[in-house]
Structure 1
Amino acid sequence: MADYQLYCFAQSGNAYRAALMLNLIGAKWEPVWIDFFGAGVQRSPEYRGDVNEMGEVPVLVDGAKKLSQSAVILSYLARKSGKFLPKGEDEELEALRWIIFDNQKVNGFLGPFRFLRTLAKVPGDPAVLAFLKGRADGNLAIVNKRLEKAPFLLGDKPTIADISMCAYLYYPAEEFGFDIAKEHPAIAAWLKRIEALPGWGHPYDIMPGYPLGTQGYRNKKS
């Protein structure tokens, strides 16, 4: 029996943060597929009343507790499991600094860029896409420079800052129209280090919703 449920769908980098964390800590969990691009259940009064008033995923269910926002979920699971937890106040603040930078400046630009380019029913305006890509490129360069100095964002060991930051970076290059790993070698090496962690899985393999609009997975689970 699963200890956790996670409301998610395969194309959501925000949900992938939580799903990856659950895998990496060895948790027993099951996904609850949200047909974000179809039925739009997340907009229903029932979902907003019973699951998440913000109408978003991910939502982690742990018994009677429901948690939303990926940074909150990562922090909760790290504290509960004792894994990927920043040690001491200085590391906690540094992890929070990178998580906020990620949400605002890295995946905060990459996510909308990818959505408007690849997933939206009406493609994004070219000028808007150019703006988002330009900002994402500059901020990815900051992350790459950081990772030239150490294996992970906070030093020698991975923390929730890394799990947050990598969220959108495992999606296929064709969805972005450019190869992030190829353009940023230190990020590429870091992604390989995370990929080598026990329990790692690709978002299209560990969350339902691939192909788009189905409950499938890239590699069918047995």
Structure 2
Amino acid sequence: MARYRLHCNGGSGHSYKIALYLNCAGLDWEPVGVDFAGGQTRDPQWRATINAMGEVPVLEVDGRLLSQSGAILLCLAGTTGHFAPAADQRFEALRWLLFDNHRFTNNFAMHRFQNCMTPRPADPAVLAFLRARVESTFAIVDRHLEARAFMLGDVPTIVDFSFVGYLWYPASETGFDLAEYPSIDGWRRRLAALPGFKPPYALMPVGTSPPVRTA
């Protein structure tokens, strides 16, 4: 059994943040599939034994069950040293992690779900509202990345793994062409050049996600 066991499913960008970190850090890990589409995370027993919050990812390590992707990344950086922010970057790292979870990833993930994973097409007004929120946060990050290779400077840190969570899912799912954001697109491709990089469905070929609606 691998030291790190990641409870996840292929469609979860929050899970991908952790899976990609573990793979690029060269850590001994394995994915454990969660039947999200079948309601496993809503099952009282699963919540009682795995995660009371009813969410993935959950990282199982040394007898502990860790949840919330930002907190997991902070824990991994602190315990392994891989992709850890420098001492004088810790405030900036936390600031951007909170911005990502509250706005950048949050908005993009909600738009993706409404764009292709609801049983019926979303209300156009709802989709337009979410799209405007994504565009606003993307503009902030695109400007931030104009003058730096990675989120905190010249080298990748856990902040980069947090922000990239949903950016390698296909445009047919997300509804966004990242070529329209050249700084973001260039940055995510620099991350893709790291040893150990794989896109989400290849890295987490486990569990189930809501079916992608094609019309």
1:116 touches 1:124 (CA, 8 Å); kept in 2?
yes
Q: Say which SS state the counterpart of residue 15 (structure 2) adopts.
A: helix
Aligned AA (2:177):
D
Q: 1:60 to 1:195 in 2, by over 3 A?
A: same
Residue 78 of structure 2 corresponds to which residue in structure 1?
Answer: 79
SS at match of 2:30: strand
Q: CA deviation at 1:122?
A: 3.1
Match of 1:189 in 2: 186
Q: Unmatched 5+ residue regions in structure 1?
A: 215-222
Contact between 2:93 and 2:159, CA under 8 Å: does it hold in 1? yes
Shift in alpha-carbon separation, 1:210–1:170, aligned structure 2, 3 A:
farther
Q: Give the equivalent residue in structure 1 for 2:165.
A: 167
Q: Distance in 2 between matches of 1:67 and 1:129?
A: 32
Equivalent residue for 1:114, pick from 105, 112, 125 = 112
Distance 1:4 1:123 in 2: 38
Work out which of the residue numbers 114, 123, 126 in structure 1 matches 2:124: 126
In the TM superposition, what are the counterparts of 1:17-28 in structure 2 within 5 Å? 17-28=17-28
1:40-97 C-alpha deviation (Å, 9 max, x unpaired): 1111111110000001000000021110000111111111211110111x31110111
Given that 1:34 and 1:40 are in contact with CA atoms closer than 8 Å, whether structure 2 keeps it comes out as: no
Counterpart pick for 1:152 among 150, 153, 158: 150
Letter of the 2:29 partner, please give it.
W
Alignment partners' CA distance in 2, 1:62 and 1:104: 26
Change (3 A) 1:211 1:48: closer
Secondary structure at 1:66 match in 2: strand
The code of the aligned residue for 1:48 comes to R
In structure 2, the gaps of 5 or more residues are none
Separation (CA, whole Å) in 1 of partners of 2:94 and 2:86 = 12
- Structure 1 position 209, deviation (Å): 4.2
Contact 2:151 2:160 in 1 (8 A): yes
Q: Which amino acid aligns with 1:186?
A: S
Give the match for residue 196 of structure 2.
Answer: 199
Q: Secondary structure at the match of 2:147?
A: coil
**In 2, distance between residues paired with 1:185 and 1:168?**
17
2:70, 2:162 within 8 Å by CA — same for their partners in 1?
Answer: yes
1:32 aligns with 2:29: no
Contact 1:8 1:31 in 2 (8 A): yes
Greater relative CO, 1 or 2 (CA 8 Å, sep 6+): 2
Aligned residues: 211
Compute the displacement of 1:190 (Å). Answer: 0.4
Identity %: 47
Q: What TM-score does the superposition give when structure 2 sets the normalisation length? A: 0.94
